[in-house]
Amino acid sequence: MEKEKSFAELLDETSLTPRRYSVGEKIDTIVVKITSEWIFLDLGAKSEGYLDKKELLDDEGNLTVKEGDSITAYFLSSKHGEKLFTTKLLTLKSVDDYLFNAYKKQIPLEATVEKEIKGGFAIKISANAAGFCPYSQMDTKKIDDVALYIGKKFDFMIIEYAENGRTIVLSRRPLLEKIEQEKIEALKGSLQKGMLVHGVVKAVRDFGAFVDIGGIQALLPVSEMTWGRVQDAKALYFPGDKIEAKIINLDWENKRITLSFKDTLPDPWNEIGNKYPEGSIHKGQVSRLTDFGAFVTLEAGIDGLLHISKLAHGKKLKHSRDALSVDAQVEVRVEKVDLPNKRISLDLAANEKETSAGETEALSGYMAKAPEMMGTLGDVFKKSRKKR
């Protein structure tokens, strides 16, 4: 027995350019395959056309067509590229009946976004039917560029049908949310905290980047982009960038996945003992000023604290900004390294030099004066004779 052809195989027998149809549009086509439930139609494009086999059964249940026969059909709807047709003549009333039925039974239908209007988009459903889609119902995310939707065909749900079809409100959100939830369910078994994933950056904000991983979005916070400070996330990542990151949080209940690119990089603290031993002198940049001191960046991801007492020079300071400014270059000495808590205590290198100079001066002031030289033994005898 010849094996029934799959949708993909049937599509390969057609041309490469898919067509778009309006609800109620009439076509003359050929039956290319008949299965137990469906009759497949040749649409002359690489897309799926089918109708319910029951429509072409006579009163006794016998099929009235065979493969290769020509028939007339009318387009009803499209879902995931599969186009559903009917052989029943779609009058204006039947189109209205179909739309009302789609509303009551929440059947998706394909429609075209015509233009932007106040509050959302004008949607063309068919030659005689139009609807409205609010901005909030066009997508699950914020719409930054309406031009990306104009002229495109999407699947919609009718969420309001009133005045005998004169008011039709459509939405993509339920369909998109369902697809997203299905992806989440499929990924629940495969994603784990701590694993590495590949993704594509979809959008960049001041607080982080949204990354698509397997069809769902995860957040890469700005604090997890690198070990160093990030001045501008939009200068570091761009939409379309492909990245590898580690999952650091999975919150399925709130649909939140948090990533870290920083954790895929070597931790600079692992080399602290060799690079910044206590007593060593380094140049750094002031990154943050507080009332208790200044944080100095020695390298990306490595900051040390320069306590305010080290900045006083004998004066009383209320804030570290009274002595330093952000981004100032300073020469510092490593006083103490606390590896378990990833802390470095710093002092100004100049303080050590001043202390050394002051100690030398103070020491010389306290040293006793050297006694006068007694001279030679002959000089001693001469002084003795003079005294006589």
Q: How far is CA 229 from the centre of its chain?
A: 19
Query: Encoding tokens for residue 348?
Result: 């100004």
Residues 118 and 167 in one domain: yes
Residues 273 and 335 in one domain: yes
The pLDDT value given to residue 106: 83
In a domain, 371, yes or no: no
Q: Which of 264, 293, 326 is the last residue of a domain?
A: 264
Q: Is 104 helix (H, G, I), strand (E, B) or coil?
A: helix
In a domain, 384, yes or no: no
User: Across residues 283-288, what is the average pLDDT?
Assistant: 88
* Whether 184 contacts 177, CB under 8 Å: no
The pLDDT value given to residue 18: 59
Residues 260 and 274 in one domain: no
Q: What does the alpha-carbon distance between residue 23 and residue 317 come to, in Å, rounded to a whole number?
A: 77
**Please, what is the Cα angle at 248 between 246 and 301, to 5 degrees?**
75
The pairing of strands 281-290 and 293-299 is: antiparallel
pLDDT digits (tens, 9 = 90+) for 307-332: 988 887 767 888 888 888 888 899 99
In a domain, 383, yes or no: no
Q: Which of 150, 176, 202 is the last residue of a domain?
A: 176
pLDDT digits (tens, 9 = 90+) for 124-145: 987 778 899 999 999 988 888 8
Q: Choose among 102, 111, 110, 134: nearest CA to 121.
A: 134
Residues 119 and 81 in one domain: no
Query: Encoding tokens for residue 125?
Result: 């459903």
The pLDDT value given to residue 321: 87
Number of helical (H) and strand (E) elements in the chain, helices listed first: 8, 20
Residues 170 and 206 in one domain: no
Q: What does the alpha-carbon distance between residue 114 and residue 152 come to, in Å, rounded to a whole number?
A: 8
Residues 84 and 102 in one domain: no
In sequence order, the 6+-apart residues with CB closer than 8 A to the CB of 207 are 221, 222, 233
CATH number of the domain residue 49 falls in: 2.40.50.140
DSSP string, 178-197: HHHHHHHHHHHTT--TT-EE
Q: What does the alpha-carbon distance between residue 69 and residue 336 come to, in Å, rounded to a whole number?
A: 89
Query: Encoding tokens for residue 27?
Result: 């076509």
Q: What torsion, rounded to 10 degrees, do the Cα atoms 263, 264, 265, 269 define?
A: 30
Q: Which of 142, 176, 210 is the last residue of a domain?
A: 176
Residues 85 and 38 in one domain: yes
pLDDT score of 47 more than 80 = no
Residues 97 and 60 in one domain: no
- pTM comes to 0.49
The pLDDT value given to residue 144: 84
Q: Which residue has the higher pLDDT, 167 or 381?
A: 167
**Please, what is the Cα angle at 144 between 140 and 148, to 5 degrees?**
85
In a domain, 365, yes or no: no
In sequence order, the 6+-apart residues with CB closer than 8 A to the CB of 128 are 24, 92, 95
Residues 76 and 116 in one domain: no
The beta-strand segments (E) located in the chain are: 26-34, 38-42, 48-52, 70-79, 82-86, 109-117, 120-126, 129-134, 153-162, 167-171, 196-205, 208-213, 216-221, 242-251, 256-260, 281-290, 293-299, 302-307, 329-338, 343-348
Query: Encoding tokens for residue 291?
Result: 């009332």
pLDDT digits (tens, 9 = 90+) for 214-226: 878 899 999 899 8
The number of distinct structural domains making up the chain is 4
Residues 243 and 273 in one domain: no
Range of the domain at 337: 269-354
Residue 353 banded pLDDT, cuts 50, 70, 90:
low
* Whether 50 contacts 15, CB under 8 Å: no
Tally of CA atoms within 13 A in the half-sphere of 226 that contains its CB: 13
Q: Residue 245 to residues 193, 196, 202, 249, 302: CA-CA distances in angstroms?
A: 11, 6, 15, 12, 21
Residues 279 and 216 in one domain: no
Residues 104 and 68 in one domain: no
